[in-house]
Structure 1
Amino acid sequence: MSRRADRPLFERARYAAAGYVWLFALMIGAALFSQAASAHEVRPAYLSIQEEAPNEYSVLFKTPMRGNARLALTALFSGRIETVTPVVSRPNDDAMVQTWRMRTLEPLAGQNVLVDGLQNTMTDALVHMVFANGDSWTARLTPGSPSATIPASHSAWAVFSTYVRQGIEHIAFGLDHLLFVTALMLIVRDRLKLVKAITAFTLAHSITLSCATLGWITLPSKPVELMVALSIVMVAAEIVRMERGETSLAITSPWTVAFAFGLLHGFGFAGALVDLGLPRSNVPLALLAFNVGVELGQLAFVAALSAAAIAGRRVFVLPRRAIAATAYAIGIVATFWSFGRMEAMVL
């Protein structure tokens, strides 16, 4: 029997996973040096319409910003609308928040709502409407379909499915969170420890995501983003120590480190959800759905990486130094992020 066949399946998967990380690092490098504005466009716009009195509505429209300029998006309705108060605009981190009140001269139900300019972007727009009778409606507009018809009422399922999709998309574009999970997979030596570490990470960031979104605990977003990047650097350093034969708490009990850093990453998820906006009438449901979406996206990533690693063992076997080299690659990328985010805090 060959030496490769003697090697435990999970151990071979770890070495094959290292090859994937190199590709992953190249993808991140390309993203880092791309136009900064493109990253902002991934964040969705949010349009909230609340019926305060018969045919009178308060409107909140949040749009992503590029530097000091917001995306050229406008909320339009197909029926006759009167704006009864001036539009008040205020910047909020990387978004512009506009609020106003309007009066409809014909029922809003049955009208089309259009986010004009969305077709020229790479982002989506969430529209959430609450009627005076408590009914609500949520829709996701895209560049290919920037308008929708407002029904008289809508089911809670639409809110749930919309925010699940947003959670999945957030984790898919959250390269820092995915890189942290990848580093965890490289530092863990058996399946049971990996399950414990991923479970601890999931539980921890679910706790802080819920607490921060509900306003029970708040932390400034920029320091949180910096600490998320530094957490990746620290895990990468632990991988190198492990490959040198050294030991530490992170190496012997990776779930403890995963839990601690998971609490930190949860604040990062919460910042994205706050930027997205929550429907005032369905905050618990939207929070649950977003959390479910994040977990589904994370599990899909772990499953895809594991499947690719196991399949790759039949094609190549990387030398043992590849794990340490991969850790250095992860650390370099995360260090680059750290300096960039530190600079953003100062400016």
Structure 2
Amino acid sequence: MSGLGLHRGWRWLFAAVLLSWMAAIPAAQAHESRPAYLEIEETATGQYDIRWRTPVLAGQRLPIVLRLPEGVRNVREPLIQELSDSLLERRWIATGPDGLAGQRIGFPGLELTITEAVVRAKTLDGESWMAVARPSQPWVEFDLTRGSIDVAIDFVQEGVWHILSGWDHLLFVFGLLLLVRSPMMLVKTVTAFTIAHSITLAAATLGYVELPSRPIEAGIALSILFLGVEVVREKRGRTSFTIRNPWVVAFAFGLLHGFGFAGVLSEVGLPPLEVPLALVSFNVGVEVGQLAFVAVVLLLARGLKLLGVVWPRRMELAPAYLVGSLGAFWLLQRLAFA
């Protein structure tokens, strides 16, 4: 194959990859996928008031079904209410004398989604309980003996899940890796991003600051587009404030990304008596997922270098164009639905 033909082949490969990513965008917007929500309140011994909310995205209900334990019966006819963003089902059920303790509540169909089902329960004596079902485990066990360690583990997992399924946040981090070459500057930049989004995550979750989600999501997309432009500028040998001081820009946009994380956490909900623990645990999970992503990207880059893989010169800007193009696509998409 001639050199020109090889370059054309790489261009077509890049276009195919880009189109594949574009096609996956609706499913990739993890932070637009609200969790399903199950609230259980014990009203008498062995009797419960249930509220089951299933999100509606793009006019379609998520394919998640509530499966209660065997032997549960309805005391009254269920009521279903269609809301603007969800389908709310109200049920009144009765169980055996032992109630729901130790019983498994399933969510068939959850494994086909990228969201989760949050379960909150309250008993007659005022005890509260919370658990999260995920695609990898679409069920929970009703267990009032869960302690602080269980809460911490749940929210660490929640943080890891949301950063690794949040393509917009990961793409921003990927853009930082493309922009920064010095190892020390990379540590400084990633640390600045971490500190910034931790600040706004805590402030928004605790109610000190409240901003509408749509502008925040559009702003996150704009930050990715901006970073893509700066990476192209750097690859062409030019300079700018961002290229010279990437940690400053990482901190500034990190504040914005923190509000995005807070939106996710507010949807999941914090256990009233475990707010500090849950908040810290969620943030730890986000950082674990973020560092794992950075490590994988760096290891892949190192592996390709050791294998002697040499990219065609025209492909050097492909990752930067990918970042910028997806940022622009997300921005237009989110503005259209604002």
Pick from 231, 242, 262: which aligns with 1:270? 262
Separation in 2, partners of 1:303, 1:24? 24
Distance 1:53-1:157 versus aligned 2 partners, 3 A rule: farther
Three-state SS of the structure 1 residue aligned to 2:210 is coil
Identity %, equivalent residues: 41
Distance 1:189-1:90 versus aligned 2 partners, 3 A rule: same
Separation in 1, partners of 2:195, 2:257? 11
Aligned to 2:285: 293
Distance 1:267-1:67 versus aligned 2 partners, 3 A rule: same
Three-state SS of the structure 2 residue aligned to 1:110 is coil
Pick from 44, 49, 52: which aligns with 2:40? 49
1:65-102 deviations in whole A, cap 9, x for unaligned? 23334235235344556668975746465x44556776
Separation in 2, partners of 1:121, 1:183? 29
1:24-45 deviations in whole A, cap 9, x for unaligned? 9966742431494686796542
1:61 matches 2:52: yes
Separation in 1, partners of 2:331, 2:66? 35
Q: Give the root-mean-square deviation of aligned CA atoms.
A: 3.4
Pick from 178, 181, 190: which aligns with 2:170? 178
AA matched with 2:326? V
Distance 1:152-1:218 versus aligned 2 partners, 3 A rule: closer
Q: TM-score, normalised by structure 1?
A: 0.78
- Between 1:68-77 and 1:201-210, the stretch displaced more is 68-77
Quote how far apart the aligned CAs of 1:275 are: 2.3
Three-state SS of the structure 1 residue aligned to 2:56 is strand
The number of residue pairs the alignment matches comes to 323
Aligned to 1:244: 236
Aligned to 1:18: none
Specify which structure has the bigger relative contact order, considering alpha-carbon pairs within 8 angstroms and separated by 6 or more residues.
1
Distance 1:52-1:137 versus aligned 2 partners, 3 A rule: same
Q: Which runs of 5+ in 1 are unaligned?
A: 1-21
AA matched with 2:162? H
Aligned to 2:317: 324
Three-state SS of the structure 2 residue aligned to 1:340 is helix
1:180-200 deviations in whole A, cap 9, x for unaligned? 111111111201111111001
Three-state SS of the structure 2 residue aligned to 1:47 is strand
Q: TM-score, normalised by structure 2?
A: 0.80
Distance 1:249-1:34 versus aligned 2 partners, 3 A rule: closer
1:204-223 deviations in whole A, cap 9, x for unaligned? 11111122222221211111
Quote how far apart the aligned CAs of 1:231 are: 0.5
Quote how far apart the aligned CAs of 1:51 are: 5.0
Aligned to 2:3: none
**Correspondence 1:22-41 to 2 at 5 A:** 29-34=19-24, 36=26
Aligned to 2:198: 206
Separation in 2, partners of 1:209, 1:28? 31
Q: Which runs of 5+ in 2 are unaligned?
A: 1-11
1:283 matches 2:271: no
